[in-house]
Amino acid sequence: MKMRPLGRTGLSVSAVCLGTMTFGEQNTKEEGFAQMDLAVDHGVNVFDAAELYPIPPRPETQGRTEEIVGHWLKDRGRRADILLATKVIGRSEMRWFRDDRAEGRLTRPQIMEAVEKSLRRLRTDYIDLYQLHWPERPVTGFGSNPVRWQSPPPAADETPIEEILGILDELVTAGKVRHIGLSNESPWGVMRHLALAEAGKGPRVASVQNAYSLVNRTFEAGLAEVCEREDVGLLAYSPLAQGYLTGKYQDGALPAGSRKQLFNRLQRYEKPGAAEAFADYVRIARDFGVDPALFANAFVTSRPFVTSNIVGATSVDQLKVALASADVAFTAEMEAAVDAVHQLRGNPCP
């Protein structure tokens, strides 16, 4: 497994990261353990979780993912070997995360409550990478890197970024968090956090976790240059477009047990033009004699600005394919074929 530097932290992370959002919903504790065992056996040293998980978010299941990861860390005695990443929710109408049933906000009381709960569930006294799952400020659309801009009005109770960084600085100083990261952020958001850190207002952002795949390359339009020049790592999520890039949903197929069949929450990947793009990329992969899932993951893992590709699976066999992407040589011919489709199809799933 290739290792890559995580921003300016001095830490190195595996080119593939284990995503855990299915643990506690689609995957049992035992299945989660099997995935974590397999991942570390293949050289993975970073797990990504969130207080939100598992997906879909529900009050009945919230926190189960971190609990399963925490049980594994204790049972296997591997805490020192794993770079543990988790996330605090951003602005949200969901009320089941906080003891007082308040809507989600990135305020000092809520962040402090969130981190203490995550530490308990994860059975650890520190988190290596604590990420803001999405911004506190209202944004054009989830993901904060839209292809069409709108101008959302600021919220009256919006917590300034400077204040959020100060709260996170308290956690770093206390030793409960080692490094901080962003998620679903824009170029402006990343640069603003960096500028304030340089002005001494809080810790420096080590990473940003955004969606990136063959059907969503919006990261390249502004964030890629920001991250390369500022040494901020991309932790890329949804490399398979929630399964669509495997080809399993082609021609209206609805496999039993699939995320779409279970939850019907894939609207981000069901926009006009998406089906045609999926068909093109699946065809290209097969033309090269490569499994479409392996091809799509290899594209993401091979990008020079990707620090780690967050792969998710509901079975060990799926995870084996995802892990293998680190060893695939993405050739110039593959690159040209992909770019030709992108020129025609663009980013149908931002």
CB distance 236 to 208 below 8 Å: no
What token pair was written down for 109? 């009381």
CA Rg value for the chain:
19
What's residue 104's pLDDT?
Answer: 97
What's residue 230's pLDDT?
Answer: 98
What token pair was written down for 91? 């602005």
Q: Which of 53, 160, 164 minimizes the C-alpha distance to 111?
A: 164
Which residue's structure tokens are 């047990």? 257
Alpha-carbon distance 80 to 82, whole Å?
A: 6
Q: Which amino acid, 267?
A: Q
What's residue 278's pLDDT?
Answer: 97
CB distance 164 to 199 below 8 Å: no
Candidate list 53, 130, 212, 237, residue with the active-site label: 53
Find how far residue 67's CA is from the centre of its chain.
Answer: 19
Q: Is 53 a catalytic residue?
A: yes
What's residue 147's pLDDT?
Answer: 84
Q: Which of 275, 208, 209, 272 minimizes the C-alpha distance to 241?
A: 275
What's residue 112's pLDDT?
Answer: 98
What token pair was written down for 308? 């780690």
Class of domain 3-244+296-330: alpha beta
CA dist 147 → 52, 137, 144 (Å): 26, 19, 10
CB distance 239 to 309 below 8 Å: yes
CB distance 294 to 324 below 8 Å: yes
Alpha-carbon distance 266 to 264, whole Å?
A: 6
Alpha-carbon distance 137 to 128, whole Å?
A: 25
Each residue's pLDDT expressed in tens, for the chain with a length of 350 residues: 999 999 999 999 999 999 999 999 999 999 999 999 999 999 999 999 999 999 999 999 999 999 999 999 999 999 999 999 999 999 999 999 999 999 999 999 999 999 999 999 999 999 999 999 999 999 988 887 888 888 999 999 999 999 999 999 999 999 999 999 999 999 999 999 999 999 999 999 999 999 999 999 999 999 999 999 999 999 999 999 999 999 999 988 999 889 899 998 889 999 999 999 999 999 999 999 999 999 999 999 999 999 999 999 999 999 999 999 999 999 999 999 999 999 999 999 99
Beta bridge partners of 85: 48, 129
pLDDT digits (tens, 9 = 90+) for 39-77: 999 999 999 999 999 999 999 999 999 999 999 999 999
Domain limits, the chain: 3-244+296-330
Alpha-carbon distance 299 to 258, whole Å?
A: 23
Classified as helix, coil or strand, 236 is strand
DSSP letters of 182-223?
EES--HHHHHHHHHHHHTTSSPPEEEEEEE-BTTB-GGGGTH
What token pair was written down for 244? 């669509």
What's residue 143's pLDDT?
Answer: 86
